[in-house]
Amino acid sequence: MIQSNEAGWNFNNSYARLPDPFFEKVEPDPVIEPELVLFNKSLAESLGLDSKKLESREGADVFAGNEIPEGAFPIAQAYAGHQFGNFTMLGDGRAVLLGEQMTPSGERFDIQLKGSGRTPFSRGGDGRATLGPMLREYIISESIHALGIPTNRSLAVVTTGESVLRENELPGAVLTRVAPSHLRIGTFEYAAQWGGEEAIKTLADYAIKRHYPELQEKEDRYVKLFEEVIDRQAALIAKWQLVGFIHGVMNTDNMTISGETIDYGPCAFMNEYNPATVFSSIDVQGRYAYQNQPPIGQWNLARFGETLLPLFHENQEQAVELAQNAHSKYEELYRSHWLEGMRKKLGFQNEAAQDEPLIDDLLSIMKKHEADFTNTFRALSMDKPEDTPMNDTPEFKNWYNQWQARLDRQEALKTSSYERMKQSNPAVIPRNHLVEGALEAAVKDRDYSVMERLLEVLAEPYAYSSKHEEYTKLPPACDRPYRTFCGT
């Protein structure tokens, strides 16, 4: 066991003090030969951890689950969820929550091992993870963080020295995730289905105390909780849309109460702008396509509201009315967050009536000409319309003239508008072909240099640096659509 004062571990495990039905005590399954292959030094230091100590063999043992730090209390969390619209019992089937790390600034973060072996919720699975998907989650989650989008983060990846059987034998790995919490809509669905009103109240009070302490003394705190979660999710999904991120599996068990991106399974970033884009191999109906993410968020939040009804009012009709009133604000909140972001992407520093038609016209032109989402806004930020495939078309020239006229009507100088755009439009994203190239080098050849260079670039997506130019290039044309997989 590593002593807390040796590595900086400072656990205070509030979730484990909830009643037993919300979790199962479980120990990670030891692995044969853990080796640390990725380690997030800056994140470790922000958590109050000793990065030098954790880069040792002892650190690899902790991140593999072979050693439990002092003060940790490993558990698997119980939750349910609507998966592709169908309700089912779930729980952490291949993840173990080591505990909650208290940082030097007093913040609380879950430290979770993903791929650490079977739990009571494994449902026949082996509880293990393979190297490729764990590295992929590390890349995408850290990129999402650098883009300024709320997310769980990745602290470390270790290989296990063991093979995991999927379609083929693949190298095993464990990912250490860091999150403000893992409270999900599905956690509340579990409480409502198997615990009743008392369990719902216990969980809601815990969520308020942990994430919304300003609500604790309010008489209508449970309605306010619902409203706060609605706003955070509306803001989160708007941020996804603004960078072309497609989550891929927006089940209710993958939506947090605190409003962060979680569960990087079959996610990816869109290249050419097409609202119907879907990457996940299992999403054959396109339920979680890019254009469906905002309404799916609203659908999921309705399921959350249903679990809270007994807390809203003792009269069911009045409880439903309160829930509907709160839920009805989602569309306006989402649109407001999205419009605010789009105005920044186009350099608008005030609001004008013609903004929405101008934004919609640009997106329509981009779709028609299969323009790359990221590179189009990058070109506009650099005032290089010639770098877009639409530049020679009459419709784009007309749009560009309208856009320039809109910028001219602002009091601010155009130079400040372009700077505003560069702060809102990433020059680089984790392009799917770049991610796949990094994963192939790491998994097949144990060459992590490709990934390290990619991570270095993605850490500064708004830098507009000349050294990043090669990472803005589009992949070679391919007849086959890009597909992602959940990795389970």
Q: What is the pLDDT along the chain (488 residues), one digit of tens a residue?
A: 444 567 999 999 999 999 889 999 999 999 999 999 999 999 999 999 999 999 999 999 999 999 999 999 999 999 999 999 999 999 999 999 999 999 999 999 999 999 999 999 998 899 999 999 999 999 999 999 999 999 999 999 999 999 999 888 999 999 999 999 999 999 999 999 999 999 999 999 999 999 999 999 999 999 999 999 999 999 999 999 999 999 999 999 999 999 999 999 899 999 999 999 999 888 889 999 999 999 999 999 999 999 999 999 999 999 999 999 999 999 999 999 999 999 999 999 999 999 999 999 999 999 999 999 999 999 999 999 999 999 999 999 999 999 999 999 998 889 999 999 999 999 999 999 999 999 999 999 999 999 999 999 999 999 999 888 999 999 887 655 667 766 55
Burial of 238 (0-12, 13-18, 19+ CB in 10 A): buried
Residue 283 CA to residue 290 CA, distance in Å, equals: 12
Give me the pLDDT at residue 271, please: 95
Please state, in angstroms and rounded to a whole number, the distance separating the CA atoms of residues 395 and 378: 20
CA–CA dist 264, 95 (Å, integer): 14
Rounded Cα distance between 159 and 172, Å, is 6
Residues 439, 135 contacting (CB under 8 angstroms): yes
- Identify the pLDDT of residue 475: 86
Q: How confident is the model at residue 182, as a pLDDT?
A: 97
Residue pair 184/1 in contact (Cβ under 8 Å)? The answer is no
Torsional sign, CA 455, 464, 373, 233: positive
Query: Which residues are CB-neighbours of 56 under 8 A, at least 6 positions away?
Result: none
Residue 177, CA atoms < 13 Å, CB-side half-sphere:
28
Catalytic residue among 92, 253, 263, 283: 253
Extract the runs of DSSP E, i.e. beta strands, from 379-446: none
- Concerning whether 253 is annotated as a catalytic residue, the answer is yes
User: What was the pLDDT predicted at 476?
Assistant: 81
Q: Which two tokens stand for residue 478?
A: 């391919």
CA-atom Rg of the chain in angstroms: 23
Structure confidence at residue 6 (pLDDT): 78
Give the distance from CA 404 to its chain's centroid: 35
Residue that the structure tokens 């005030």 belong to = 350
Q: How many CB atoms lie within 10 A of CB 344?
A: 17
127-157: burial string, b at 16+ Cβ within 10 Å, e else: bbbbbbbbbbbbbbbbbbbbbebbbbbbbbb
Classify the phi-psi angles of 123: left when phi > 0, otherwise alpha if psi is within -120 to 50, otherwise beta: left
Question: CB–CB of 115/172 below 8 Å?
Answer: yes
Number of helices (H), then strands (E), belonging to the chain: the values are 17, 12
Domain boundaries, the chain: 4-179, 185-338, 348-422, 432-472
Q: Rounded to an integer, what distance in angstroms lies between the CA atom of residue 457 and that of residue 435?
A: 12
Q: Between the CA of residue 180 and those of 101, 102, 111, 184, what are the distances in Å?
A: 10, 11, 9, 12
